[in-house]
Amino acid sequence: MAFNTIPYLIIGSSLFFLGSFILAKNIRARVNILLGLTCIASTLWLICFGLANYFAGSELIMFLLRLGYVGFIFIPILLYHYAVIFLNIKSRSQSLTMPYIGGLIFAMAVMLNPLFFSGYRQFIWGYTPIGGILHWVFAVFYFVLYARINYILYKHYREAKRTSSLKYSQIRYLFCTVGILPLSAIDFLGIKGIEFYPSGYLFTMLGLVLVVITVLRYRLVEIDIIINKLIFLFVNSVLVALCYVLLTKVLSSIFSPNLAGLFAAAIIITVMFFTSLKDKLQQVIDVIVYRNKYEYQRALKETTQLLITKLDLNELCYFLIQMLAKNIGMLKASLLLENNEGNYDIRTGYALEKGLMSQYSIRQDAPLIAWLKENRSILIREEAEQYLSKQNFKEIFGDLRRISAEVVIPLFYRGNLTGLVCLDNKQSGAIYNQADIDILEALAGQAAIALEKAKLYTEAVTDSQTQLYYHRYFLRRMAEEMDRSRRYSHYLSLVLIDIDNMNKINDAYGHEEGDRIITETAALIKNSIRLTDVAARFSGQEFVLILPETREEGAYNVAHRIKENITRVVDTAEHIRREVEKQKINMAGGGKLEVTVSVGVSNFNGLDGHVTAEIIIEMAKEALLKAKNMGGNRVVIHTPEPAESRTT
């Protein structure tokens, strides 16, 4: 029995079971049929070559070598057919006829014509056929066919890069396959009489495994990861082999050859598995292949732990979306939470269109919600398009296009769907691979717990009438924001809002109508500020806003930053005042009531060490009193003397 018999038989049998598995997975799918037939053709090649190395007798050996090569001939033809079907190329009948006709001609030539194979040679590893002039013709056919596959892949690769991240990644896998499978032609060297070990079966096995991944896996591992592992395996194997040879040679002068080999193997195993050399080698290859491409996954794992430290619901929602945007780099994102009616409203978003947050809602009986509750898993649009019927896909994803939801992450707490995170495609165009999904699933579990905890806390510190924070919570947050402002030298503004003529309204319409005006005004204020801002009920008809600066200093100088922040704060205050003024409140007795507010603004530059929260609050009170004395319905910014005012 020749050396090559066992490897041929093992890999041939493996490919047979792989092909059978693919066919059993979906025997009606043409891509599965073609891929299964490719594996079986490879099995015919390898099993026949393996048996030829096992049996004696020149005629039987030659027959097995010829029969095995028929399988080899049809590998590139079936792969070409697979690529045409997979990419849905038109005019398939014309593009597929010629390769199969050529394959049948070459198959008959292999079996019958000595100009293809005239005999066989025996090398140390086994038998190899002797190629004739027709084998050169086949070699040209072989490489032309692979060149054609490369051409159609590249053509569709450029289109998929713009339209489909999943198809784009699948084609990258096929590109890798088309780069590997032609290396099986290394066996041609033996056929031409060059004594070179025929390792083509290894490349065939690897290439077919990559094709199988594109068919059976929706969540593809990035091809960079596959390349990284292959490079690490290759470099590691070369280093081990070199070290083994050198150590054995050195130790042979001291011990017998057998003992020298054992000692060399023991030293290498100790160094590779009980020292940091292996990890350092992996780090070097990571830098070369990845170039920090997957650093976001590590960062996302670390920052996920910070979720449970956020008690304020608005702050937590903002932190969650910003964390995803920073680490994953998606184009858009939205966080939807369950409301009191059981529907799901957008609580916060990233790069969403103006007005969409207040308009968009998903009903509790929507097909998407039913699917998430039943399957309890992340939903990816491109995956769903593969396995859902067209009708179901349209029902689930039809309205999600408004918020650009390519990935939907359900948030479950104690079995209840409490919210969902919707992510758009990555800015880089890369797919959400399995590592991303694993991290996002872990994030969903942590986020659901943190959000529920923040809801309970927020309810405890929120005024039931206005849904704004209590005065006591405002004082605590004010102290925290002052400390943060000093630490980072950031600007901080305080806005004090008072409803004008509230006593007269209560006397004229009653306290019940006055309470309704307070509630509606509070709702308007809440909808006018950012998630990073804090809105609280200061007293009966007074409200207070903490507006911290969120812009990083960057290239802006301090003076420009302060000016920009003051402009933003005044614009926010003016916007609230104008919106309240425009709001006509329907009164119980009929008619509409025009309500106005007075606004006082104070600022802290983050630099004055003697300024306290109490001083900033008093400054805002002074500005508010100034606005009241000037007739109300205006915004006044506190200045030492005189006060600056803006009126209409």
CATH number for the domain including 182? 1.20.1070.10
327 domain-assigned: yes
Which of 217, 244, 277 delimits the end of a domain? 217
225 domain-assigned: no
The answer on 578 and 491 residing in a single domain is yes
155 domain-assigned: yes
> b/e per residue, 309-344, with b = 16+ CB within 10 A?
ebebbbbbbbbbbbbbbebbebebbbbbbbeeeeeb
119: left (phi over 0), alpha (psi -120 to 50) or beta: left
- pTM (two decimals): 0.61
Which of 255, 273, 289 delimits the end of a domain? 289
Is there a contact between 512 and 587 (Cβ–Cβ < 8 Å)? no
CA distance 544 to 284: 55
pLDDT at 551: 47
> In which residue ranges of the chain is pLDDT below 50?
551-556, 641-648
The answer on 641 and 509 residing in a single domain is yes
pLDDT at 417: 96
27 domain-assigned: yes
Q: What CATH number is attached to the domain comprising 625?
A: 3.30.70.270
Question: What are the C-alpha distances in Å from 569 to residues 24, 494, 575, 637?
Answer: 65, 9, 10, 10
Contacts of residue 374, defined as CB under 8 A and 6 or more positions apart, other chains included, come to none
Residue 615: burial class (beta carbons within 10 Å; 0-12, 13-18, 19+) = middle
Which of 439, 460, 481 delimits the end of a domain? 460
549: left (phi over 0), alpha (psi -120 to 50) or beta: beta
pLDDT at 555: 35
The answer on 130 and 63 residing in a single domain is yes
Domain total of the chain: 4
pLDDT at 648: 41
CA distance 388 to 86: 18
228 domain-assigned: no
The answer on 571 and 492 residing in a single domain is yes
309 domain-assigned: yes
Length of the chain: 648
The answer on 486 and 338 residing in a single domain is no
227 domain-assigned: no
The answer on 639 and 536 residing in a single domain is yes
- Two tokens, residue 414: 């104690």
**Cβ atoms within 10 Å, residue 23:** 17
> Cα–Cα–Cα angle for 29, 33, 37, nearest 5°?
170
The answer on 428 and 303 residing in a single domain is yes
194: left (phi over 0), alpha (psi -120 to 50) or beta: beta
The answer on 599 and 515 residing in a single domain is yes
- Two tokens, residue 275: 């020292």
The answer on 27 and 92 residing in a single domain is yes
Task: Determine the structural domain holding residue 194 and report its residue range.
Answer: 5-217
pLDDT at 642: 43
246 domain-assigned: yes
Amino acid making up residue 374:
E
pLDDT at 219: 61
Is there a contact between 537 and 469 (Cβ–Cβ < 8 Å)? yes
The answer on 340 and 279 residing in a single domain is no
The answer on 284 and 302 residing in a single domain is no
The answer on 323 and 366 residing in a single domain is yes
pLDDT at 289: 61
